[in-house]
Amino acid sequence: MPTEVKGGAGRGAFITFEGGEGGGKSTQVQRLVAALRARGVETVATREPGGSPNAEALRDVLLAGLVAPLGPAAEALIFSAARIDHIDNLIRPALQRGAFVVCDRFADSTRAYQGALGKLSETFIDGLEKVTIGDVRPDLTFVLDLPAEEGMARAGARRGRAAADRFEAEAIEFHRALRDSFRAIAAAHPERCVLVDATQGIDEVAADIWAAVCRRFPAVAVASLPT
């Protein structure tokens, strides 16, 4: 039965989406969640920063740029504080009951935005990640990859006349370096990460993602659609 589909080691499965701005992560999270649910797999869709009431409150503070003046180390700590609450109140309980959790951004975003771009040491980021996420590590991570110019153009079109947030407002050089950083993360963790060409159309990207999910979780591939 589809409801028997599980990730590894007696728990659910944790899938994250990462990448720069405008890569279509939110759309692809929705597509994957719909495909999993259509097969009867209990699936929780969530995002970072946020995903729990306390973490959503911290999201507002972070994206308004209120922590930026304190520097990247302080920002990394506040993103991590939000992550701890999100894990405790939503992610871990869902995994423990065997659900799939699909999360729009997670710890790789701290490593790229605050770590690489904020010039924090790997020792700092490794230690912070260890105390923040413990054993709640993603089973599979999609890195949606596209040129910074294209991503920023898409993000600008989506935003319309609304003001850019803390990170959207950074210069194009920041977003180019961000892309390099996410690509480096994907290359360093080939067992977990799948680099996806996000310049493709929505359906093509969704197909690449679904194929990778079926490879990683074969039980999902054979779970039947309702007739």
- In angstroms, the CA 136 to CA 47 distance is 15
Smallest separation (angstroms) from ligand TMP to the CB of 67: 10
User: Which residue carries 């490593």 as its tokens?
Assistant: 111
Smallest separation (angstroms) from ligand TMP to the CB of 33: 16
- In angstroms, the CA 102 to CA 44 distance is 6
- In angstroms, the CA 206 to CA 170 distance is 29
Question: Does residue 79 interact with ligand TMP by CB under 6 A?
Answer: yes
Which one of 14, 17, 100, 113 is in contact with ligand TMP (CB under 6 A)? 113
Smallest separation (angstroms) from ligand TMP to the CB of 99: 21
Question: Does residue 167 interact with ligand TMP by CB under 6 A?
Answer: yes
User: Which residue carries 């989406």 as its tokens?
Assistant: 17
DSSP state of 170: S
Taking each helix axis from N to C end, the angle separating 122-133 and 72-86, rounded to the nearest 10 degrees, works out to 20
Q: How many residues bind ligand TMP (CB under 6 A)?
A: 10
Which one of 2, 31, 35, 48 is in contact with ligand TMP (CB under 6 A)? 48
Long-range contacts of 217-222 (CB under 8 A, 24+ apart): 217/5, 217/7, 217/13, 219/4, 219/5, 219/6, 220/5, 220/36, 220/39, 220/41
Question: Does residue 141 interact with ligand TMP by CB under 6 A?
Answer: no
Which one of 7, 22, 23, 49 is in contact with ligand TMP (CB under 6 A)? 49
Question: Does residue 86 interact with ligand TMP by CB under 6 A?
Answer: no
Q: Which is nearer to ligand TMP, 167 or 217 (CB)?
A: 167
The stretch among 32-40, 110-118, 135-143, 198-206 that binds ligand TMP (CB under 6 A) is 110-118
